[in-house]
Chain A
Amino acid sequence: MFEYEFMREAFIASTFIAITAGLVGVFVVSRNMSFLSHTLSEIGFAGAAFGILVGISPLAGMILFTLVSSVAVGSLSSESSRREASISAISSLFIGLGILFLSLSSESSSYATNILFGSIVGISSKEVNQLMILALFVIFVFIIFYKPLSFDSFDHIGARAAGLKTRLLSIAFLVTLALSVSIGAQIVGSLLVFVLLTLPGATAKYVVHTVPKLIMVSVGLSLAGVWLGLYLAFITNWPVTFFISSFEVIAYFLGLSYKNWKLNH
């Protein structure tokens, strides 16, 4: 299948997407932000539709919308119950806006399904380069903030007590989360990018117990999911997203069963 250029591009792009999502996902899960990452993908959809409407690239539209809203949501309220409610309100608004932008623009509905559900054929080599740069930026930010971000994510109260600037860390994290959503949506679609941003990280925590191992397992599962997904999509012509999400969900339940089994033995 690598004789086709679009498959080569899709593999390269997916590899970067999977590494970023697997890495960021460990922290999404430990910071209890799965719901926020879901909302950001919906906001990303609206952003992409907006991009199409005003004539900028969907990726740029997505980054614009997710960046602004992630920082806004992050500073909206630290009280978790209120945050949940505000996030779902914001999410409804953005889905509505996304639909409006799409209907106002002249693009066909297949374009909309690409944004929502992802596509392996839609990606050009220029876009692959953009994704790689964005992914490397996210990884770079994580290397810089690795220690304090781990402390804050796995023990927020302890980190505050130790005098860490947790607010700054939170904003840095939200920026990388917004970028990861925008990057990931290019292949798996905005509707399901949160699968890659939450499930591998959640599965990892059932099987390993150190931060580096969590990252390794999460990135591994994420890579296995997209590679397998792309391969199966290629031979069956079924949507790649279906295979990726099925794989990650099965891995999640296997991880959960493993943990329960270990508890009883």
Chain B
Amino acid sequence: MIEAKNLSKSFGKQLIFKDLNFKIHAGDFISLIGPNGSGKTTLVKIMMGLEKKTSGELKIDKQTIGYVPQFRNIDIDYPLDIEQFVRLNLKFTLSPTKRRHDNAIIEEILEKTKLTELKNRPLGLASGGEKQKAYLAQALLNDPKILILDESTASLDVEVKMQLMDLVEELNHKYNLTVIFITHDYELTKKYTSRALFFKHKTMEEVNVSDVSEDMFDMGG
């Protein structure tokens, strides 16, 4: 589903990574780990077509990626409610049939992400975990086959983190959704993912989750 061969990226003269080789299959739940600035987000951006690779090959279907970005500016005065926030990702339509279809999809996504009860709450007043669920719901709207979570759990407390990841795991199992999880969290990597792509020294190695060790997270990350 995603295959990289000798994939390299530089910004000008600065090398970010070189010769990445990996395969990600449908239904995989993998993590991208390694220090800050080692190229995890850059790789994801290349996957999404927001950055260009410098050399090598990357095979991927770009249409089907849902991305939950790292930062978002949602302050307490943010006006839209959760349902409206999720709806932002819908395409414009005048057709009543398409509208009904869209409404049904929104209901379904809110149900999937356990937001139905909270859909009328202004997002600015939602808790950290509820906000992350709303971001997730928005990313799932166009029925992606691949979901990329960019440090989505970073600012959450342990219990909420687990709830969110349980939800993602459920989607992964039920719908065979491929999940790529960028993280600095050792526990979550161990608990939820099956493989890790470990970025270090301008390259990357694939590690089985049983071989992931805590010191892989200590490199300035």
Interface positions of A (Cβ within 8 A of B): 30, 146-148, 150-151, 154-163, 204-206, 208-211, 214, 263
Contacts and interface: CB of A to CB of B under 8 A. Distances in A.
B48 A205 contact: no
A158 B84 contact: no
B198 interface: no
B73 A158 contact: no
A229 to B, nearest CB: 26
Nearest to A210: B84
Interface stretch (B64-72, B162-170, B178-186): B64-72
Interface in B49-106: 49-50, 67-69, 71-73, 77, 79-81, 84-85, 88-92
A23 to B, nearest CB: 15
Nearest to A204: B79
B88 A208 contact: no
Nearest to A32: B73
A82 to B, nearest CB: 17
Given A148-B92, A155-B138, 4 more contacts: A147-B92, A150-B88, A154-B79, A158-B135
A187 to B, nearest CB: 27
Contacts of B36: none
A147 B69 CA distance: 20
B177 interface: no
B80 A156 contact: no
A147 B79 contact: no
Q: Chain A at the B interface: mostly helix, strand, loop or mixed?
A: helix
Contacts of B68: 161
A259 B154 CA distance: 30
Q: Report which residue of A151, A160, A161, A162 has the largest number of chain B beta carbons within 10 angstroms of its beta carbon.
A: A161
Contacts of A214: 79
Interface string B122-145: 100100000000010011000000
Contacts, number: 61
Contacts of B92: 146-148
B179 to A, nearest CB: 16
A209 B50 CA distance: 31
A66 B89 CA distance: 31
B158 to A, nearest CB: 25
Contacts of B88: 150-151, 154-155, 158-159
A161 B139 contact: yes
A163 B49 contact: yes
B155 interface: no
B42 to A, nearest CB: 14
B120 interface: yes
Contacts of A156: 73
A157 B89 contact: no
